[in-house]
Amino acid sequence: MDYTKLLEEKYPISIIQYVRQREGLDKKDGAMDKEILEMTNSEVFRDVLAWNGLLGGWDYTIKDWIESIYGIDLDDLEN
């Protein structure tokens, strides 16, 4: 199965590259694409934030801001 292709159908390449790098891979290394594909959206969001320097629970804070401003609970979208 081509996990890279499936992953590219789910997320933009920039997001995939952030998560790969967060996992210690080169941004073009698809060795963990199956594992990334199995991650929840929240886990991907957390990894993207962490790779971009927003460590320590910013995923919850930013999700809370989005819900407060836009009325959208991102965690509800996963279910």
pLDDT in tens, the chain (79 residues): 899 999 999 999 999 999 999 999 999 999 999 999 999 999 999 999 999 999 888 999 999 999 999 999 999 987 5
What pLDDT, on the 0 to 100 scale, is given for residue 47? 96
What pLDDT, on the 0 to 100 scale, is given for residue 56? 86
Q: Which amino acid is at 20?
A: R
What are the boundaries of each domain within the chain?
A: 3-77
* Angstrom distance (rounded) from CA 59 to CA 48: 9
What pLDDT, on the 0 to 100 scale, is given for residue 79? 59
Question: pTM of whole model > 0.85?
Answer: yes
Torsion of CA 24, 53, 10, 7, to 10 degrees: -10
Judge contact between 10 and 38, C-beta under 8 A. Answer: no
